[in-house]
Amino acid sequence: MGWGGKDKDGKGGKGCKGKGGGGGEALVGETLGGEDEELIWNAVTECVNPILRFEHELDQNKLEKRIRDCFRKGAKGLAFHGKPWYDLINEYADTVFSGVFSSLGEKEWLPRCDFLLCLDAGIKDNFPKHAIARVPQQEFERVVLAAHDRAHEEQRILPILWEVVQESIEGPKGKKKVNLALEEAWKAAMEACGQHKDAQGFVGAWIDGSIARLSAVSQGEPHWVMEPPLAMQVFDQLLQAGGMPYALVEEHGPPPAGWPFIRDCVDYAYATHSVAQEEFVSAKKRKAGAGGFDAFKGGGYGVKGAGKSGKAKRPPNPLLADVPPGSCRDFLLGQCKRGDECKFQHDEGVKQEVDLKRALAEAEGGGEDEEAEEKRSRLS
């Protein structure tokens, strides 16, 4: 795939790969076309041609104009004198693909459209020469390719996240918190795991990062925003709707529906990031879990559990091991401050059993005596 595009006469553009006159590697700033040359014109035509048969509303000229306008306007407002060239390219890619997906997001062919040449041409047409002068061509191409894949995938996933959140989460505040947590964690998981093409690593990091962010905005109670069973359902729906990055799908195939690995990751994440538990993981384990990748390595979809790292899930609080589903654990530990607004069950009978367990454990800690025996018999 070429990078330089074509000029308006259909000839090869001056931005193609090649060697400079001095025999060294060509620099981008030395190979840009003239001021009147627009590489984006033919790059958009080349991009659109393969998908025209799938477009039944816009004719070719109108479709090309929409796309071309996004790549022309994307450079407005960029701080060309204040940022490194690679940051400018990534910021430009974010703006461009945000505009493309906003304008054409309803088109079914959009996720399959290859805009790489358009991004390359848009940079060369709209960036001032000093911004990318002296940049080696090979390094320029590497950054453009990475920015294209990242920005395109992020814009593709945003509507999927919002649609699933809208259907699954109650209340505007809850929807906003969950959607933001999912989005930020997805981007972090892509950066950490996407390049390794590790499906389990990505999903584990995405789930763990999402619950960690929900915990941070809910005083350590992520279940108050999204309960674990609902989280399992949400992540399963997201993966079935296309939430897995294309690179991982190409490597491993689509994730299976009802994948048991999702349950394992959700259990691990809530155990790690919930303050309702009296026992906490160490700071080192919490930091590793936040990244998610090392804790969930495993490659494809065939390995069940939290990867091959050997890290086991933290055991639950033994006092709460047998409590009925839906019980408020904070209430059972005497820590619930939500009162009547709590949506979990406040069962006094269950709380008495937990209190007896605690008293028995304390009594056994001081040696076997008549009081301990009495409490054990009452508990039985």
Mean pLDDT along residues 48-70: 91
Mean pLDDT along residues 26-45: 68
Return the CA Rg of the chain. 27
Judge whether 342 and 348 are in contact, CB under 8 Å. no
Judge whether 31 and 4 are in contact, CB under 8 Å. yes
Q: What is the pLDDT of residue 300?
A: 75
- What region, left, alpha or beta, does residue 254 occupy, with left being phi > 0 and alpha being psi -120 to 50 degrees? beta
Q: What is the pLDDT of residue 232?
A: 96
Q: Residue with structure tokens 């062919």?
A: 109
Q: What does the block give as tokens for 69?
A: 């306008």
pTM score above 0.75:
no
Q: What is the pLDDT of residue 308?
A: 40
Backbone angles phi, psi at 352, to 5 degrees: -65, -40
Judge whether 208 and 268 are in contact, CB under 8 Å. yes
> How far is it, in rounded angstroms, from Cα 126 to Cα 74?
9
Residue 287 pLDDT more than 60?
Answer: no
> How far is it, in rounded angstroms, from Cα 290 to Cα 285?
9
> With bands split at pLDDT 50, 70 and 90, how would you rate the model's confidence at 288?
very low
List Cα–Cα distances, 177 to 114, 211, 266, in angstroms. 32, 11, 17
pLDDT tens-digit series, residues 133-148: 889 999 999 999 999 9
Judge whether 242 and 259 are in contact, CB under 8 Å. no
Q: What does the block give as tokens for 76?
A: 């407005």
Least Cα distance to 234 among 184, 164, 303, 297 occurs for 164
Would you say the C-alpha torsion 193, 195, 199, 200 has a positive or negative sign? negative
> With bands split at pLDDT 50, 70 and 90, how would you rate the model's confidence at 336?
confident
Q: What does the block give as tokens for 275?
A: 């303050």
Backbone angles phi, psi at 115, to 5 degrees: -105, 15
pLDDT tens-digit series, residues 92-129: 999 999 999 988 878 888 878 899 999 999 999 999 98
> How far is it, in rounded angstroms, from Cα 4 to Cα 310?
48
